[in-house]
Structure 1
Amino acid sequence: MPTNDPTATPIAGSAGPGPYLPPATQPVRAVVWVIHLALPLLGLWLLLAHHDRINVKWQHNPSHFWLIIAVAGINMILGAMISQASARRSDARLLLVSLVFLSSAGFFLLHGLTTPKMILPGPNYGFDLSQPVGLFVASGFAFASALPLGDRAAAVVLRSQAWLRGGLVLLLVAWGVLSLIPGLTPLSSKPPEQGAGLGGAELLGLVLYGAAAVLLFRLHRRRPAAMLISLITAYALLAEAMLAGMYHRNWHLSWWLWHLLLTFAFVFVAYGAHIQSRREGGTAGLFDSVALAATVRRVRADYERALEELVGHLRRRADSRVPVATRLAGKFGLTEAQAAVLDRAGEALANERELSERLAALVDLGNRARVGLPEDELLVQSLDRARQAYGDVRIALVSDGRVALGSAEYREADFPAGGPIRANGSVIHPLTVKGRLAGALRVPVGRTSQDDALAAALAGQMSISLENVRLYRELETLFRQYMSPDVAKSLLADPRTAELGGELVELTALFADLKGFTTFSERVAPGEIVEMLNRYHTAAVPIILGNGGTIVQFVGDALLALFNAPARQADHAEAAARAGLAMQEAAAEIVAEAPGYPRFRIGINTGPALVGNIGSPQLRGFNAMGDCVNVAARLEGIAEPGTVVIGQNTLDRIGPHARVRSLGELSLKGKEKPVHAYVLSGLS
């Protein structure tokens, strides 16, 4: 039973601090409830304690007869309703609860039919025993219904339902025949003056009712519901009725009391069912709260599948002669008003999910505009993702100042103030890059109130993605023309790599310049100097980059390349050696075509160096500093044109693969100790 009580704490097992305390078990309400159940027992005690003055005898056979017939009839209807619910849900607990009411109502009816001087001429055993027997039989079903039946036990009960129902019907028919035919059995004979009872069986029934009420109350604590409270109260009243009936003072007020208790028990459940049916607008799920936990989970799963079906139909806006809510109403026994509410709720949920999916698509589109992603790939991926959330989205880019979408063409002037154009249930938004028309996006609208805003957001995100990918492409082209690709890639991927500072790295430095460049420059025109340098650098740069090197300086005819920085290379010394030899081969081909050109001389050295961004906050460059780089420059200075000179550290890293000629120990400028150098002639 839902509650708005602010004092109720969360259900056990949830994130709340304590167990759930349903409204019916709040302290004040619990006290009132207990008082209501205790009052009949107090009245019974008063009647029995003051038997002569209060517990008077009142015998009116017709009143008894019609009261019992009416109450038993109502209770039989209630039992049939619960039985129908048990069949619809295939639930063992509901089956057992229905047998509680059918058995107690059936024997109550037989008790009424055996009222003396109505059908039978006088008092009889059947009149005295019918109701105690009915209450005892019902107590067994009540106790079984309150047990936490597992799947296997529930299956056994359901498989036995024909036997249970058939056995109860057979017992009622046999009891009726034996009680209502005069002289046939002792049941239709006159009982003793003190009345007839069941002895110890009545005490057992009392215990079973009490245990059933306690077990159901524990269930109610975990799963509060109005019908559970009604059923708990009914079981408690049936126990009190059995207790009151044990005193066998026929026609006295204490005897009428247990009739009233039975009546109240039946009416209480019927009234609870009536209130809940009015609250829910129907009787389809009236007794679901009493069902087993497995049945409740199955019912909830059915409702979830039904709601998903409804949402799916609403999202597809599927055409059907019968609305999907109406079909589900027939499946679940809902009223017309409930079907209308379900339809509106499903549509609201569908719209909410559609909004969530579109917002998720916008986030995905923003994540797709990555560095280095080609424009065509970006558009294909973005369009596929947008169609999943938005429907039939179309996109086209500008060609010759026009955008062709289907059979229509649009120019920049066709979009008023840069706004969208409406056409046939769609909205067409311009895509802009740097404030100029770059394309157009067509998005279907009109299904929800947020469609226009979401379409505008999609167009804005697509424009940003398109502008980003083109900007990245321009920056990458520009960077790669002015710096090494490894440095450009690092900066584009993470601009923080441009911060001033460096790290100590073992690397191999390659210095190269053109021997005789100054003399050559004095005797030729400046244009020929530029042509010569471009030919050499055009040949050298691809060789260095192809071997994993990073060119960090062009100074006139000289260049500096680093290997193992910033990109790491395990064989950086050998890679630098391969690059130096290949550069000399390419230079030899150039000189063969232009005999007057100067020749490369190359120096290579390996060792630790400080690598990073060097300069100022306004202008900086990627470079390396250290003795390793200085020695490479000195080795390049002593190298003969067309040769590659390497240091001892480089040879050690290359190993026996290098074919070298030793130059011995050399005294280099700025070095206190001599440096052993070698002329590299090849790599095996």
Structure 2
Amino acid sequence: MPERRFVYTPAMVGVTALVLLIPLAGLVLLLQKPRLDVHFEHHPAHFWLVLLTAALSAVLAYTTGAAAIRRGDARVLFVSLAFLSAAGFLGLHALATPKVLLETPNAGFTLATPVGVAIASVFAFLSSLTVSGIVWGRRLRAALLVLMALWALASVLRLWPLDARAVPEVADGILAVLAVPTIVLYGVAAARYLRTWWARPSLMLLSMISAFVLLAEAMVALVFARNWALSWWEWHVLLLSAFLLVVAGVRIQWYEERFADLYQADTVSGQRELSVLFADLQGFTAFSERHQPAEVTAMLNTYFEVVVPEVVRRHGGDVDRIIGDALMVTFNKRGDQPDHAQRAAEAGLALQEAATAVRASHPNWPQFRVGVNTGIASVSLLGTEGGRTHTVIGDTVNVASRIEGKAPGGAVAIGAATKALLPQARTESLGLVTLKGKEEPVEVFRLLGLRT
């Protein structure tokens, strides 16, 4: 039975908008009717509510950060930094609960939440823009972590300017200054995401829009709420709701590329120069026919345990896929490896060296052959829900696969485009070979080594 997809309509956005405005209407009612804004002071409830909210935000920061680094997507990275800033400063605010860390809270802990929400709004706004590359991503994340650590230290030690007692009347002026640009930034981010949603509706985009609206409303409540009253508890619940919405969206998405709806256009349909490495085992079919499936599986796992780290950890390759005995690895898929040809060549040689060491103990095992090609390829997101993959396609990929098929067992073969980028390479020509789908023969070279 075919899978039924949820249909997103403009009417649904309108209903969602009305639902999101209910908390703001509730806040206005509480402020206009003080008798309804009852006092409720319960320190354990405050501590665990804020800590749970911070934990959810931290989980989102980690998962989106991992996806951003893996795919080189700046938008998802900014979203990750927004969640990270909220998580870190919310965690500090949890410690502002009386009798948790200090006998009496101070301005540093009390102001941690509005400051964290304000910083997150900057990243939320940046995520709505089109930014290329993320080579700066780790440095920016490190800077944010250092800022939160310094804030925590200054708060604990009561250093200036965070040495004041946390009195709401004192904080109000600072909150008002933070609130206006914060609300504007969240509003602009939500509007820009809504425009993206209009072009390609998705639950993940709608979750992000809703979260930004709720975070903006939380900032409004932060300014006007009465301490320990229902209006004060409301902004805590709004923050929790914002992150719960995104977590729910993540859980509903399919595992494969679950943040794909947030990817920038260049991440899902861009072109870049890269190098592709293919490797498979010469004689694998014959070996499989002579051995039990468990033995074949053990052989493959033994090989992959030593060769995959060589191409991934040591040389920065991205394993695009492993199908049976075949391995496809890309270099510069994110656009952050200008030396991709060098990396691919070194990875091919290292792969063969590691595989040879394994085969020394198993001389009857088949040998790897490796092919490397360089050129322009399309970085694409293929498939639909339940079967999506982020991969590269194009003639460069096809030729790399066919060059690998011409490599001798235990050797690395490279194309002319790769050789041109490796002036220090020692090679020998394997001659002109006819590749399926190519009208003219192409010259293939055996890579013997790289001069250092």
TM over 0.5: yes
- The question of 1:257 aligning with 2:234 is answered yes
Please name the residue that 1:546 is paired with: none
Please name the residue that 2:323 is paired with: 325
CA–CA distance in 1 between the matches of 2:324 and 2:228? 55
Equivalent of 1:170 in 142, 146, 165? 146
- The question of 1:179 aligning with 2:155 is answered yes
Please name the residue that 2:405 is paired with: none
- The question of 1:40 aligning with 2:15 is answered no
Contact 1:194 1:249 in 2 (8 A): no
Contact 2:114 2:175 in 1 (8 A): yes
Q: SS in structure 1 opposite 2:37?
A: coil
Please name the residue that 1:68 is paired with: 50
Q: SS in structure 2 opposite 1:185?
A: coil
Equivalent of 1:90 in 58, 61, 72? 72
CA–CA distance in 2 between the matches of 1:318 and 1:90? 40
CA–CA distance in 1 between the matches of 2:327 and 2:236? 41
Q: Which has the higher contact order (CA 8 A, sep 6+)?
A: 2
Please name the residue that 2:205 is paired with: 228
Q: SS in structure 1 opposite 2:323?
A: helix
Q: SS in structure 2 opposite 1:77?
A: helix
Contact 1:61 1:118 in 2 (8 A): no
Compute the displacement of 1:168 (Å).
Answer: 0.4
CA–CA distance in 1 between the matches of 2:286 and 2:74? 39
Contact 2:30 2:36 in 1 (8 A): yes
Compute the displacement of 1:295 (Å).
Answer: 0.4
The 1:127/1:253 distance shift into structure 2, 3 A limit, reads farther
CA–CA distance in 2 between the matches of 1:40 and 1:327? 56
Contact 1:245 1:255 in 2 (8 A): yes
String of CA shifts for 1:289-325, please: whole Å, max 9, x gaps: 20111101259x99xx99xx9xx99xx9898756953
Q: TM-score, normalised by structure 2?
A: 0.59
Compute the displacement of 1:245 (Å).
Answer: 0.7
The 1:193/1:161 distance shift into structure 2, 3 A limit, reads closer
Q: SS in structure 2 opposite 1:116?
A: coil
CA–CA distance in 2 between the matches of 1:328 and 1:213? 44
The 1:190/1:272 distance shift into structure 2, 3 A limit, reads same
Please name the residue that 1:161 is paired with: 137
The 1:222/1:328 distance shift into structure 2, 3 A limit, reads farther
The 1:201/1:71 distance shift into structure 2, 3 A limit, reads closer
Compute the displacement of 1:73 (Å).
Answer: 1.5
Please name the residue that 2:258 is paired with: 286
- The question of 1:146 aligning with 2:121 is answered no
CA–CA distance in 1 between the matches of 2:114 and 2:268? 34
Please name the residue that 1:680 is paired with: none
Compute the displacement of 1:25 (Å).
Answer: 3.2
String of CA shifts for 1:64-85, please: whole Å, max 9, x gaps: 1122112211211210111010
Contact 2:168 2:227 in 1 (8 A): no
Equivalent of 1:115 in 93, 97, 109? 97
Compute the displacement of 1:253 (Å).
Answer: 0.7
Compute the displacement of 1:191 (Å).
Answer: 3.0
Compute the displacement of 1:326 (Å).
Answer: 5.4
Equivalent of 2:178 in 190, 194, 201? 201
Compute the displacement of 1:46 (Å).
Answer: 0.7
Moved beyond 4 Å, runs of 4+? 2-5, 316-324, 326-332
Aligned pairs for 1:368-517 within 5 A: none
The 1:33/1:326 distance shift into structure 2, 3 A limit, reads farther
Contact 1:44 1:254 in 2 (8 A): yes
Contact 2:75 2:127 in 1 (8 A): yes
CA–CA distance in 2 between the matches of 1:216 and 1:75? 20
Q: SS in structure 2 opposite 1:187?
A: coil
CA–CA distance in 1 between the matches of 2:86 and 2:76? 16
Gaps of 5+ in 1: 6-21, 333-337, 343-387, 389-684
Q: SS in structure 2 opposite 1:159?
A: coil
Count of aligned pairs:
299
Please name the residue that 1:189 is paired with: 164
Contact 2:50 2:94 in 1 (8 A): yes
Amino acid at match of 1:222: A
Measured on the aligned residues, the alpha-carbon RMSD in Å equals: 3.6
CA–CA distance in 1 between the matches of 2:244 and 2:152? 24
Contact 1:217 1:232 in 2 (8 A): yes
CA–CA distance in 1 between the matches of 2:27 and 2:110? 19
CA–CA distance in 1 between the matches of 2:27 and 2:326? 51
Contact 2:114 2:178 in 1 (8 A): no
Please name the residue that 2:190 is paired with: 213
The 1:325/1:111 distance shift into structure 2, 3 A limit, reads same
Compute the displacement of 1:329 (Å).
Answer: 10
